[in-house]
Amino acid sequence: MPLQDLIYILDLLGTLVFAISGVVAAVERKFDLVGAFIIGFVTALGGGTTRDVLMGATPVNWMLHEEYLGIVALAMILCYLFYPRLSHIRRSLFIFDSIGLGLFTILGFQKAMIAELSIPIALMLGIVSAVFGGVIRDVLTNQVPLIFRKEIYALASLAGGLLYWLGSLLEVNTALNALISICVVVLIRSMAVAYGWESPFLPLGRKEH
């Protein structure tokens, strides 16, 4: 399978899993059909949209690719059919969610590099692409964004971006480089869950007590 096709399929899969997490969050808060669709949509596509708007890459990507609307619709159908069992499936979804996290990081990084932005900015845009969909989902459902608190999530995205950058410095083959970076993101996330790793904090308050 050519690299471009593989990336395309992973992109759609990542989008689907992100959309499912949005639809589930919306339905659990008793949003209606359109609300569930919109939350699924912004969760899946909000990160890339934020990146595109900040870069001035407009009309944003999903406006030129209707299939993303279909992916969000598919997420709703899957939620309708399988929700009671989705809590079990979630563990399997975790792997796709992590693949999506890694892939979106790299796609964001690449897009920034193509636009000739600097490395630190490109790393930042990689993280934005990967995590801001979830941030917007949490804002629209009136919650403190989980991503900032509970999981090694944005840090895994940063690690994947850094690794991909190093690989490109060492002129590693692009496909291999992307594969390794995504695997490391999945590995970090899996180990964080397995070993109960918590995100590091700035240890501010401690000195006060």
3-class DSSP assignment, residue 142: coil
Binding of its own copies by 54 (CB under 8 A): yes
3-class DSSP assignment, residue 14: helix
**Contact residue for its own copies among 6, 9, 80, 166 (CB under 8 A):** 80
Binding of its own copies by 20 (CB under 8 A): no
- Closest CB 6 distance from its own copies, rounded Å: 26
Please, what is the end-to-end C-alpha distance for the chain in angstroms? 58
Task: Give the nearer residue to its own copies in terms of CB position, either 2 or 203.
Answer: 203
Q: 162 to 201, contacts with its own copies by CB under 8 A?
A: 198-201
In total, the chain counts a number of residues equal to 209
Task: Give the nearer residue to its own copies in terms of CB position, either 196 or 205.
Answer: 205
SS (H, E, C) 37-104: HHHHHHHHHHHHHHHHHHHCCCCCHHHHCCHHHHHHHHHHHHHHHHHHHHHHHHHHHHHHHHHHHHHH
Task: Give the nearer residue to its own copies in terms of CB position, either 103 or 147.
Answer: 147
Contacts with its own copies by CB under 8 A: the residue count is 63
**Contact residue for its own copies among 1, 2, 4, 56 (CB under 8 A):** 56
- For residues 43, 47, 50, 52, the Cα torsion angle rounded to the nearest 10 degrees is -130
Report the distance separating Cα 122 and Cα 145, nearest Å.
23
* Tokens (6 digits) for 95: 């792997």
**Contact residue for its own copies among 7, 12, 155, 193 (CB under 8 A):** 155
One-letter amino acid at 97 equals D
Binding of its own copies by 26 (CB under 8 A): yes
* Residues in touch with its own copies (CB under 8 A): 23-24, 26-36, 38-39, 49, 53-56, 58-60, 62-63, 66, 69, 76, 79-80, 83-84, 115, 117-118, 120-121, 124, 127, 135, 139-145, 147-149, 154-155, 158, 198-205, 207-208
